[in-house]
Structures are given as structure tokens and as C-alpha cells.
Amino acid sequence: MNNVLFLVDIDGTLLRVDRQVTRGIWAETWSNIIGGKVPWERLDTAAGKTDLQILAQLLGDPDYACRIAANFFDELAECAQRSIVSTSIQLCHGARSFLVEAQKYGARLVVLSGNERRIGWHKLRTAGLDRFFLEGFWGCAVLDRHHLPPIARDWALQQGLVEELSRVIIIGDTPNDISCAHRYGFVALAVASGPYSIEELLQHRPTLCFPDLHHAAVSLQRIFDNPAMNRRLIIAIDGPAGSGKTTTAQLLAERLGYTYIDTGAMYRALTLAALESGVPLTDQTLASLLESIMIELRHTSHGQRTYLNGRDVSERIRQPDVTALVSLVSSFPSVRQAMVRLQQKLGRQGGIVMDGRDIGTAVFPDADVKVFMTADLDTRAQRRFLELHASDPSLTIDDVKRQLDQRDTLDSSREYNPLRRADDAFVLDTSALTIEEQVETILRHIRNKFAMSNSVSQD
């Protein structure tokens, strides 16, 4: 299990600090830095919020909060270090045994908390829990804790703590912790040891929900054995041109920490090679051409780039001459067989989002998640037109519509592996959706498919 990363919340999950003590620290700091009394009536709840978010809400002005944050938190941290002592802290039931057990399983433990960094470490030290954690990610610099999980995940990967993450598990006591996990496809383990009851937490569909960490600790084996815990999914996205596949698949992969594989770019690179070499377009010539060239999808800080024999052709393969021929090139059976084999090799280890025309039907008919994206022709043409118009002002929307229609007809009528919706695919009509809504809808679908929601353990 040493490829599992646990991101653990502090307050309400591991421990509780006497409310009077916390309020006293804020009152003293507020009076010293801002003057007057803390307007607590402005804060609905502190649970699940970051310290910077609490400060912004109390001030009613996020910009002002960011400007004074360094000063305010210096004072707050100093005050907390003086005032929070072991008698002001109560450990949540089972907190220590959970951390001990999780470590025995080889899980990597990291703090993910809304606390200011020094205050968070001070609480953990005072409670004797700091030694369990390799690092912490804190809420003193971000207004929204939703920004923290991918930072923690990328840090763990960069440090080489985990060669390949199979799972990231967020453990917390609030709906905010659950939604942090959902946003990135992580496992959400909720505990009702904070201000929210099990029933309230279940409404937010955590993957697992326990009364407290004691119950989670005795169920660790069951948690790890659960199939949803250990998989790096294969996500297949198919659909016609302009349905939004590429942008959605890219964003989805980013959110999940997965690799994005654009199979259209592979067919396009072969088409470019054919154009440049001038070979006749037959099944046999194209199949041998494919054997003699090297197509690579490299992941760079500028997103995925396509290389043909070591040359970056990412922009070149989107030019009209390539687009006009790619459907024909990709219709030859030997070309498709070779490409499918290559794509299966690229994706079989999982943790991928692959988009194309035949991913859910031919490349990975057993994919964990299959999405078929569609949109009406007018919407797709409008999207493509906006993309292409800048580089080719002579293009009209009718030209684009005609080309898309032609390409769809060719792609769906070819004999071998045509564009077709897999029977078990989730159909997503994107005509009236924004990119963000498309990503959210797919994540929700994945969550519903794999969530072990309502699995409350009270034994």
C-alpha cells in the first residue's frame, strides 16, 4: 500500500481545540492588528474553511485580508503557540491508532488543513501527532482549500515518495473535505467526529463514512481491499469532431492526475508523414509507413505535444491539408490495427484518459469508464469556426459545417472500427454545456459508478 497518499485534516478529524481558547487567540490578535472586537456574527461556520478564508469573511473584504495576512498570521501564530497547551486539546477517538495502522500499511501521511502552517504544526506537536506526517499543506495562503489537494499530490510524486500513486485519500469531517476529494477524483473518507453528523455527511456522497477514526482504523483492511480504492482507471472518451472531447479529456486528466492520450493526433501525425513522403494512400503503403516512423505524445508544461520522428508537429497536424485527409488515412484496416495495438500499449497500465472514435469499442472495450460526447452540428461547427477563423479568415461557417459533416460521415461509415457509441457508454450532449460543466458531469458519473456511498461502518 505504499503508493497510497492520505491527506488528513486536523480540526474535527484528528483533534479538537477548546473553542474558548481558539476564540481568545483570534480576539487578542484582532484587537492588536485590526482593533476592536471580532465580528463573529459575520462567520456562518469555521468548519472546513481555511484561516485566510475565515479572516476574509470576518473582514468582509478578501483583498484586504490578503494584504494584512502576513502580519495577522504572525501575531495569530505567536498567540496560538502561547495559548494552546495539551489541556486545551482533545484527541478525536481513534486518531492515533488510525495513524499508526495507516503507517503499518505503508500509506504516506500528509496534512491538508485550513490552519495557518505554524498553528497547525503546533496543534499536532502538542497532541503528539506531528511525527506521523511527512509534510503539510496549509490554508494560510489560499482562500479556498480546493486548491490544495493537487499541490499535495504533485509534491508527493515529485519527491518520489510514491512512484506511482494508485490512490489519494482525503480524510476529513466536513462537506468541504468531501468535495475537495470529488473535484480531483480522490477517495473521500468522511468521519463524523466534527460538527457534521453521519447523515449530513452522507448527503455529500463520500466514498466511505465512519463515526470516527477508531471505526476507520479497524476497517483499514476493508478500505484497502475495496476495488474502488486501488484502481487507476482507463477512461475512454469518444465522439464526433467538435464535440469537445479534447479539451474535456485534457482537463479531466489534469484533475485526476492521469495521462491524457489524444489518439486523433496519432492518426494526424501518420497523415502528415504520408503527405510529406508522397506515398500513395493504400492500406499496405500506410501500414509500412507507420512501421518506419516514430510518433510520440510527449507531456510538457505546455500540455501534450505530438512529435513525428523527433520533430514537434503539434500545430502542423491541425492544418487543413492534414484535416482533409485524416479520415481517409484512418479508414484503412491495417492502419487501424497497428494504431489500436499501439494505443493499447500506451494505456494498459491505467490512469489514462484517452480520446478518439473507437476507444470504448475497439481499443479498450473493457474500459472502466466510457463516455460518448455529442453536440448538434451547428454547435460543433461554431466551435471549430472560432478555433480556425483566426488562422484562415476566408473560412465561412458553412465551409466548416460541410467539412465536419463529411468527416463524421466518413468516420462513422468506414467498415473497420467506425465511430460508434459503445452500448455501455455514458452519453454526454455538450450542446448547452460549458467545458467546466462537461468535466464536472463526467466526474460525477465516475463518482456515482465507483462510490461506495452509504457504506457507513459502525461495527
Give the residues lining the site for ligand DC (CB under 6 A): 241, 263-264, 267-268, 326-327, 330, 356-359, 407, 411
Residue-wise DSSP of 275-337? HHHT----HHHHHHHHHHS-EEEEEETTEEEEEETTEE-TTGGGSHHHHHHHHHHTT-HHHHH
Nearer to ligand DC, 241 or 422 (CB): 241
Nearer to ligand DC, 117 or 245 (CB): 245
d(CA 359, CA 363): 5
Q: Considering the complex, what minimum distance in angstroms separates the CB of residue 350 from ligand DC?
A: 18
Q: Considering the complex, what minimum distance in angstroms separates the CB of residue 217 from ligand DC?
A: 46
Nearer to ligand DC, 67 or 402 (CB): 402
Beta strands of 338-379 (E only): which ranges? 352-356, 369-374
d(CA 315, CA 373): 24
Q: Considering the complex, what minimum distance in angstroms separates the CB of residue 428 from ligand DC?
A: 16
Identify the bridge partners of residue 8 per DSSP, sorted by sequence position. Answer: 111, 171
Q: Considering the complex, what minimum distance in angstroms separates the CB of residue 343 from ligand DC?
A: 7
Nearer to ligand DC, 220 or 324 (CB): 324
Nearer to ligand DC, 351 or 360 (CB): 360
Nearer to ligand DC, 89 or 241 (CB): 241
Residue-wise DSSP of 163-175? SS-SEEEEEESSH
Q: Considering the complex, what minimum distance in angstroms separates the CB of residue 440 from ligand DC?
A: 22
Nearer to ligand DC, 89 or 237 (CB): 237
For 398, the 3-state DSSP assignment is helix
Q: Considering the complex, what minimum distance in angstroms separates the CB of residue 396 from ligand DC?
A: 20
d(CA 194, CA 15): 9
Strands 352-356 and 234-238: parallel
C-alpha radius of gyration, the chain, whole number? 26
Strands 4-8 and 135-138: unpaired
Residue-wise DSSP of 34-84? T-S---GGG-S--TT--HHHHHHHHHT-HHHHHHHHHHHHHHHHHHHHHH-
Among candidates 400, 366, 394, 364, which has minimal Cα distance to 382? 400
Nearer to ligand DC, 11 or 355 (CB): 355
Q: Considering the complex, what minimum distance in angstroms separates the CB of residue 257 from ligand DC?
A: 23
Q: Considering the complex, what minimum distance in angstroms separates the CB of residue 349 from ligand DC?
A: 19
What sign has the CA pseudo-torsion 167, 97, 199, 49?
A: negative
Instruction: Please give the helix or strand (H or E) that residue 138 lies within, else none.
Output: strand 135-138
